[in-house]
Amino acid sequence: MTLRAEAAQRRRRIQSSIGAGLAVLVVLVGVILVVTLTGNGKKKNTTAAAPSASATPTSCTWKPAAQSGQPANPNAKDVGTPPASGEPRFGTQTMAINTNVGAIEVQVDTAHAPCTASSFTYLASKKFFDNTPCHRLTTSGIYVLQCGDPSGTGTGGPTYQFADENLPTDKRPAYPAGTVAMANAGAGTNGSQFFIVYKDTDLPANYTVLGKVTKGLDVVQKVADGGVTPADPSNPGDGAPKTKVTIQSLTMSAPTQS
């Protein structure tokens, strides 16, 4: 998953910072020499345009998760797909997540993430999330509890995917504490896996923001305080939470104007 890659990239950036600084000095000298030799003293505008926030799609497309000609994911759970049209595009919804360690309540931003909200509403109606584990906790570099995979492997989800929306490109940090966002394996690969941010996290704005925790963030913090069983000994801050977390039920309310 890309969240794991982001954490690894962060470690590599720290380790290479000294070498990168020396490389910058070399490049600057080279640029000065090139300008002098060519006689071109004009300045070029090298300021990159700021990324714009993702536009909310005008319709929701539920595409097959399996690539054409590729075998289906054995960890996917087929419950069909949400309706092709008619999803609410206003206000907010309340997501109630009841777990074995406490209740968590999320205000879902239906107006800005209508397709994501529609998918969660549909999956909740199929009891897709009931009795499923929160399979991943990170306590170093990024600070999230990840849930939504019925298989508990980190590779499961529904048999469909959908596009990104409501990307926080204009916010720093992009994912403050309390954010609920979609995990993915690249652009446009949203399914059912989501993560709850329990401490401000500096990630690229590549993950759809579904909403924010309004009650129960302390529940997630207590799970984080309990520590991690690492999946990789070289990365002790990433793995299954030592405090087992099971979503007993997840429900979505009807949308209301905020």
Read out DSSP for 101-152?
A: TEEEEEEE-TTT-HHHHHHHHHHHHTTTTTTEE--EEEEESEEEEEE--TTS
Print the domain residue range for 169: 131-247
Mean per-residue pLDDT of the chain? 85
CATH number for 219: 2.40.100.10
* Residue 151 counted as domain residue: yes
Q: Which pLDDT does position 67 carry in this prediction?
A: 80
At 231, phi and psi to the nearest 5?
Answer: -80, -30
**pLDDT tops 70 at residue 248:** yes
DSSP 243: S
* Residue 172 counted as domain residue: yes
* Residue 166 counted as domain residue: yes
- If you average pLDDT over residues 208-226, what whole number do you get? 98
* Residue 239 counted as domain residue: yes
Identify the three-state secondary structure at position 8.
helix
* Residue 139 counted as domain residue: yes
CB 202 within 8 A of CB 138: no
- If you average pLDDT over residues 204-232, what whole number do you get? 97
| Share above pLDDT 90 across residues of the chain, in percent, rounded to a whole number | 74
Q: Which pLDDT does position 13 carry in this prediction?
A: 55
Its pTM surpasses 0.95 = no
216 or 43, which is more confident = 216
Each residue's pLDDT tens digit, 11-50:
555 444 434 443 433 333 333 223 222 333 333 333 333 3
| Share above pLDDT 70 across residues of the chain, in percent, rounded to a whole number | 77
Residues 6+ apart with CB under 8 A from 205: 51, 167, 168, 169, 171, 174
- How big is the CA angle at 174 (ends 99 and 222), to the nearest 5 degrees? 30
* Residue 223 counted as domain residue: yes
* Residue 3 counted as domain residue: no
- If you average pLDDT over residues 145-160, what whole number do you get? 98
Candidates 241, 230, 216, 232; CA nearest to 137 is: 241
Burial of 144 (0-12, 13-18, 19+ CB in 10 A): buried
Burial 6-34 (b: 16+ CB within 10 A, else e): bbeeeeeeeeeeeeeeeeeeeeeeeeeee
Q: Which pLDDT does position 69 carry in this prediction?
A: 76
Count of domains observed in the chain:
1
Each residue's pLDDT tens digit, 160-188:
999 999 999 999 999 999 999 999 999 99
Q: Which pLDDT does position 9 carry in this prediction?
A: 63
Residues, the chain: 258
Instruction: Return the H-helix or E-strand segment holding 249.
Output: strand 246-252
Burial of 176 (0-12, 13-18, 19+ CB in 10 A): middle
Q: Which pLDDT does position 66 carry in this prediction?
A: 87
Q: Cβ–Cβ contacts within 10 Å for residue 128, how many?
A: 19
**Distance between the two ends of the chain, CA-based, in angstroms?**
33
Each residue's pLDDT tens digit, 47-97:
333 334 456 668 899 999 988 778 889 999 999 999 999 999 999 999 999
* Residue 5 counted as domain residue: no
CB 202 within 8 A of CB 173: yes
Q: Which pLDDT does position 233 carry in this prediction?
A: 92
